């Protein structure tokens, strides 16, 4: 086997004088950072559009190459205090390198450590100076100053650049001003402690956010970067991006499948949990589909590639999860809007606290300036701004790992307030493939004879009912005799000659037209149709021989799903179907559905969904993502089923990547838990801020306590949000 060299890759696209870049930013650990970068890049001449996805740390920018270059954009990012990591298109062989910079090589970590060392030495010398009068104040002040300068270099540079390039007052600038102000009024210990604690908090926040990003990035790591390909009788190891549809890929036991394709040789069981969330491995043999990122467990497989790497189900899931992170939930939009007005108001308040008492009431400047500096630090909105996105992204990542694709925070929030769930029947609550349920012979005949004759007539039929009869005959080891002169009778059935007689399979009306006595058959048909089954008569021109009934089988998970929804406090479960009244009633009774509506066309389903929204409020519609697309769009939340099919992924707000309906109650519970944690985070962040601000005026709040309150609140809401990853 030969190794072929991979070609260089880039996420940059260019056409004419326009270029689009996707850059991965390092050191961005709060939503305020994303806003700062977005504004800073947006102010560059020639930049047409820019979007920063904070949770994935990615920047997408479109610009005029004649006015601005890629290096200029990178320089601006670095000037704002962040870095740009090497990036590669998804999936990559080593995607972790895209996001992670080792702690040892991170300059901000090194300066934080140095500041801590200076602070510790200064504190020891200060103590010695008090007890022995042996250490001059200038020495300790110099060490405190060194701690402020070294530890505050990156925050100050970042804050000044943000103010200069994007007109943003950020946490870095406010903290730097507070530290400098503390030193100016002789509070050297306070100033150095503020800078050190702030830098440590930034590092911890960065680590916590990295955990969230790794949860999303784990999806990328599912697919291997290379695969063994057979071309022209020779085997090569190629990067997956060089593999094209039609190539034959060889997959050994224990390997991850690198591409979407169809098995051409071999048989094995495949763990599809990474894509569909299914806990039980799926058996695969020639003709079966396999998906990139799934795991071949037992036998060797040869797979014919059906999609390019960027079009696989896994790649589409990754793109949609990343897009979902960028779609803000309503609560997040509210918090961000609040924060934009909040920071300028805080700065104005701090100026008033520092100036009004000394100027108008004859108070000393020092204590009020100190309180103003404490207010600047404690009022930074970091915890509030980050409270929602970290929870939303953690929940979306959890859902993706469990085979549920949620396309945005708005849909996640909506799912938590669902009061009614409406289901399509065929292919959703049922398997979508009819099966024979009853074979009932007439007097003087046997069930085997009925099935044999029905299978002989339907041997060449492509009708779903005919295929169901043939499957039942094969399963029962019934060998159908040869039949000649087959003819379809549209709307009535079919006929063929077998065993020297002409046999008919069809509706009761067909036999009435033939003049056959049908009283006994009609009684059986009425009973079967009352049970929601479709029944056909088997007979000749002289008599009816028996009846065969077929029905679409319920999914094994349908009963558990309906129970789970009711346990999740969904008020009403409704079935909307185009099937007849009798079938709908039978399935409704079997599943314990609250309400059903039958004989519906697609437009009728839309009207039914709109009526449910008027009567009950938020409605979820669950369908197969194809025929039910209008109803899915009309619902508060559209939920599609399908193992990664393009229609299921593109149509709905939420897609169940396997056909396991039990994922639906799980999704609603996850949504409600997410909403609960978001409310906890927002409430906690606001409470901490209000208590700290209240402590400013009597002078109870020191600068270092202000930093602890601000950073501590951020870490608490991040940790609380990360619980949703479990």
* Residues noted as catalytic: 424
Contact between 245 and 305 (Cβ < 8 Å): yes
Of 536, 583, 220, the residue nearest 425 (C-alpha): 583
How far is C-alpha 44 from the chain's CA centre?
Answer: 33
What values do phi and psi take at 141, rounded to 5? -65, -35
Angle at 472 between CA 471 and CA 478, to 5 degrees: 105
β-bridge pairing 268-271 and 248-251: unpaired
What values do phi and psi take at 181, rounded to 5? -65, -40
Check residue 592 and report its DSSP letter: T
Task: Give 132-159 as a 3 state SS string.
Answer: HCCCCHHHHHHHHHHHHHHHHHHHHHHH
Please report, for residues 189, 556, 691, 693, the alpha-carbon distance to residue 697 in angstroms, rounded to integers and kept in the order given: 21, 64, 11, 7
Helix or strand run (H / E) with residue 13: strand 13-15
Contact between 428 and 684 (Cβ < 8 Å): no
Of 475, 482, 472, the residue nearest 451 (C-alpha): 472
Task: Give 433-481 as a 3 state SS string.
Answer: EEEEEEEEECCCCCHHHHHHHHHHHCCCCCCHHHHHHHHHHHHCCCCCC
Which neighbouring-strand residues pair with 49? 62
Q: At a CB cut-off of 8 Å and minimum separation 6, what does 415 contact?
A: 406, 620, 637, 654, 667, 668, 671
Distance, in Å, from the CA atom of 75 to the CA atom of 95, rounded to the nearest integer, reads 24
Of 412, 388, 381, the residue nearest 399 (C-alpha): 412
Residue 641 CB: number of other CB atoms within 10 A? 25
Residue 370 CB: number of other CB atoms within 10 A? 24
Distance, in Å, from the CA atom of 34 to the CA atom of 30, rounded to the nearest integer, reads 7
DSSP for 39-56 reads HHHHTSTTEEEEEEETTT
Contact between 456 and 503 (Cβ < 8 Å): yes
Longest dimension (CA), the chain: 124
β-bridge pairing 18-26 and 83-85: antiparallel
Check residue 197 and report its DSSP letter: H
Sheet containing 493-498, strands listed edge to edge, beginning at the edge strand earlier in sequence: 430-441, 544-554, 534-539, 501-506, 493-498, 484-489
Distance, in Å, from the CA atom of 407 to the CA atom of 669, rounded to the nearest integer, reads 17
Contact between 543 and 517 (Cβ < 8 Å): yes
Q: At a CB cut-off of 8 Å and minimum separation 6, what does 27 contact?
A: 33, 81, 82, 83, 101, 106, 108, 206
3-class state of residue 210 by DSSP: helix
Residue 16 CB: number of other CB atoms within 10 A? 8
Name the token pair of 621: 């519609």
3-class state of residue 88 by DSSP: coil
Check residue 264 and report its DSSP letter: E
Contact between 122 and 168 (Cβ < 8 Å): no
Of 487, 542, 546, the residue nearest 515 (C-alpha): 542
3-class state of residue 57 by DSSP: coil
């Amino acid at each position: 086997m030969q190794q072929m060299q991979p070609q260089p890759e880039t996420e940059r696209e260019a056409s004419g004088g326009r270029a689009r870049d996707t850059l991965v930013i390092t050191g961005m650990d709060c939503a305020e950072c994303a806003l700062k970068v977005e504004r800073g890049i947006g102010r560059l001449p020639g930049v047409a559009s820019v979007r920063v996805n904070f949770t994935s740390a990615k920047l997408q920018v479109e610009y005029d190459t004649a006015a601005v270059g890629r290096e200029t954009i990178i320089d601006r990012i670095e000037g704002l205090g962040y870095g740009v990591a090497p990036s590669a298109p998804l999936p990559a062989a080593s995607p972790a390198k895209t996001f992670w910079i080792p702690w040892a090589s991170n300059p901000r970590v090194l300066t934080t450590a140095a500041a801590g060392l200076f602070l510790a030495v200064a504190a020891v010398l200060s103590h010695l100076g008090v007890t022995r009068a042996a250490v001059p104040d200038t020495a300790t002040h110099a060490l405190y100053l060194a701690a402020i300068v070294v530890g505050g270099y990156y925050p100050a540079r970042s804050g000044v650049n943000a103010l200069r390039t994007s007109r943003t007052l950020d946490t870095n600038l406010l903290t730097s001003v507070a530290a400098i102000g503390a030193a100016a009024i002789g509070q050297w210990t306070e100033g150095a402690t503020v800078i050190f604690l702030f830098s440590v908090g930034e590092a911890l926040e960065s680590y916590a956010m990295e955990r969230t990003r790794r949860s999303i990035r784990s999806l990328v790591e599912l697919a291997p970067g290379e695969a063994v390909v057979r071309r022209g009788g020779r085997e090569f190891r190629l990067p997956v991006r060089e593999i094209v549809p039609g190539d034959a890929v060889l997959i050994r036991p224990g390997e991850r499948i690198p591409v979407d394709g169809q098995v051409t040789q071999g048989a094995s069981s495949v763990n599809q949990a990474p894509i569909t969330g299914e806990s039980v491995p799926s058996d695969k043999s020639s003709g079966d589909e396999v998906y990139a990122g799934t795991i071949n467990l037992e036998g060797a497989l040869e797979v014919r590639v059906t999609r390019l790497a960027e079009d696989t189900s896994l790649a589409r899931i990754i793109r949609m999860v990343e897009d979902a992170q960028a779609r803000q939930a309503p609560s997040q939009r509210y918090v961000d809007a609040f924060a934009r007005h909040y920071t300028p108001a805080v700065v104005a308040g701090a100026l008033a606290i520092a100036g009004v008492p000394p100027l108008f009431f004859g108070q000393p400047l020092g204590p009020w300036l100190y309180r103003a500096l404490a207010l600047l630090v404690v009022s930074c909105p970091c915890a509030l701004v980050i409270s929602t996105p970290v929870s939303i992204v953690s929940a979306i990542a959890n859902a993706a790992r469990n085979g549920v694709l949620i396309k945005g925070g708005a849909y996640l929030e909506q799912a938590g307030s669902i009061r009614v769930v409406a289901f399509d029947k065929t292919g959703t609550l049922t398997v979508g493939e009819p099966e024979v349920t009853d074979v009932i012979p007439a007097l003087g005949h046997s069930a085997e004879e009925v099935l044999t004759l029905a299978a002989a007539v339907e041997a060449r039929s492509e009708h779903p009912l005919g295929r169901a009869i043939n499957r039942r005959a094969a399963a029962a080891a019934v060998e159908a005799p040869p039949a000649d002169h087959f003819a379809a009778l549209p709307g009535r059935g079919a006929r063929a000659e077998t065993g020297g007689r002409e046999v008919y399979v069809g509706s009761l009306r067909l036999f009435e037209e033939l003049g056959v006595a049908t009283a006994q058959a009609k009684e059986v048909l009425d009973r079967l149709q009352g049970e929601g089954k479709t029944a056909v008569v088997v007979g000749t021109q002289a008599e009816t021989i028996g009846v065969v009934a077929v029905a679409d089988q319920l999914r094994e998970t349908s009963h558990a799903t309906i129970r789970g929804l009711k346990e999740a406090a969904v008020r009403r479960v409704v079935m909307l179907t185009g099937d007849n009244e009798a079938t709908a009633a039978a399935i409704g009774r079997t599943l314990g559905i609250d309400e059903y509506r039958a004989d519906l066309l697609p437009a009728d389903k839309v009207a039914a969904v709109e009526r449910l929204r008027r009567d009950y409020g938020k409605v979820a519609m669950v369908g197969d993502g194809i025929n039910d697309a209008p109803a899915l769009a009309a619902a508060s939340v559209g939920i599609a089923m399908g193992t990664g099919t393009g229609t299921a992924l593109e149509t709905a707000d939420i897609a169940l990547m396997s056909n396991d309906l039990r994922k639906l109650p799980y999704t609603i519970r996850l949504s409600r838990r997410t909403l609960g944690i978001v409310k906890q985070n927002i409430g906690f962040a606001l409470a901490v801020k209000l208590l700290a601000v209240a402590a400013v005026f009597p002078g109870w709040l020191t600068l270092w306590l202000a930093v602890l309150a601000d950073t501590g609140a951020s870490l608490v809401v991040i940790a609380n949000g990360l619980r949703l990853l479990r």
